[in-house]
Amino acid sequence: MIERLFQLREHNTTIGREVLGGAVTFVALSYILFVQPVILSKPEMVTPMDHGGVFVATCVCSALACILMGLWSNLPVALAPAMGHNVFFALTICGAAAVGGMGWSWQEALAANMIAGAIFILLAGAGLQEALIRGIPNSLKYAIAAGIGFLIAFVGLQMGGVVVDNPAVYVQMGSLKSPVVLLTLFGLLITGIMLTFNIRGAILYGVLLTTVAGLIASHFGAESWGYSLVTWKGKIVSSVPDAGSTAFGVFAGFKQLFNENPWSKILTIIFIFLILDIFDTVGTLVGVAERAGLMHNGTIPQAQPALMTDGIGTVCGAAMGTSTVTCYVESAAGISAGARTGLATVVTGLLLGGSLFFYPVVEMVGGAVVVGAQSLGAVAPEGTLVFCHPVIAPVLIIIGCYMLPVIVKIKWDDMTEALPAFLTIVVMQFALSISHGIAWGFVSYVLLKLVRGRVREIHPLVAVFAVLFVLFLATGQ
């Protein structure tokens, strides 16, 4: 039955290799199980999501998407909630106005994301996703990826206390005397060292080693990490946390979404969710399939079901209570270990599903450290408290590094391409808003091309959304 489902002989592989490859992929991407609940339950959100509910949604939807990918497309490509998308969801869309967010509830954001996922499925079914990708200028695509990478790294530096507030100069270096900052830097160093030796699962191992270091430091009198060996001992495996607080909240969000927001804003957010998902998915599929030697005449076999699975994963994620589910480039780690078919992806999915029973570990690793802002070196009123995540922060910083290489592909010698790309990147950082960065990039691209008389280089889709982005910016959000 396994041979019939996955054509192991045709792909010159064995059950053992596929199981090993699937396990390696799981280890490589499992950091998302720790990171996702922390990002979507941040106190900066107008309505923070429940940590346990997000964890359940992440495990369940990732597992289902992986199993469907393996059985339907027979590709060794795993899926899980995407980094970057979760930051866009939590800070830009659901963030409070005080942190530059739009102030949406998480239910509204999930509703917009579900619509984007449904559109993705329709585009994939009709084979139109590549037309959309070709319509977006390469310079803006690369700038969006790089800008999100910078933003993720900045969020990581803040969560680790490495960068802190100073009203006079906006931000400054945190205090190296703070145990929180030292633990963040330890995690960054140990993970970076393992990455230089190409150790598979380096990010996961870095998270675990940093957790152990935090527990030891806490035991000897350093600031409490939000958990202790006493409360954790003997509770490695427990019952699954309640998912009711997030599951199916999206359906209440549809009413809020369309009753409380202008159409220009709704369409803009749906479009951004959609293009981010398409860029990530297609880029990852091509890269991973090429690495596995699965490309035939420049095409990916079973690409359509793979793309549709991605969209189904996003819709499922929105229904359960998590942000965009998409293909993971970490699947390349499993391919390096021998994975060549969807059996490896099914194995990864089963391991993700089994992770449901290890919630105490996730809760401990992602636990917030509540410290005084002044102890971190921040310029703030006496008694101001800050929520830090020194175990998770190094992961975000490193993921930001992973997303930057595309910046060299931007045509910096052509100002009609370079300036829009530059604005996309810097506005994302300084406005702390992915949507505003993309809006500035699209609008400036169209304006500069028009001024230079290079109208033919403006794809109609880009022109339409440039107008939409102008309306979006005009609303003051």
Strand (E) or helix (H) holding 371: strand 369-372
| Per-residue pLDDT at 474 | 82
Alpha carbon dihedral 28, 33, 35, 41, in 10-degree steps, equals 170
Q: What is the pLDDT along the chain (477 residues), one digit of tens a residue?
A: 888 889 888 888 899 999 999 998 998 899 999 999 999 998 889 999 999 999 999 999 999 999 999 999 999 999 999 988 999 999 899 998 877 788 999 999 999 999 999 999 999 888 777 676 678 888 998 899 899 889 989 999 999 999 999 988 889 999 999 989 999 999 999 999 999 998 878 888 998 899 888 888 876 665 555 444 434 444 445 567 777 788 888 999 999 999 988 888 899 999 999 988 988 888 788 777 776 777 676 667 788 899 999 999 999 999 999 999 999 988 888 888 888 999 999 999 999 999 998 888 787 777 778 888 998 999 988 888 888 889 889 998 998 898 888 899 999 999 999 999 999 999 999 988 888 899 999 999 999 999 999 999 999 988 988 998 898 888 765
| Per-residue pLDDT at 115 | 97
Structure tokens at 433: 């808003």
φ/ψ (deg, to 5) at 103: 80, 20
φ/ψ (deg, to 5) at 168: -70, -40
Q: How far is CA 287 from CA 47, 144, 300, 329, in A?
A: 37, 18, 10, 8
| Per-residue pLDDT at 229 | 40
Q: How far is CA 319 from CA 97, 108, 251, in A?
A: 26, 12, 8
| Per-residue pLDDT at 119 | 95
| Per-residue pLDDT at 358 | 85
**Polymer length in residues for the chain:** 477
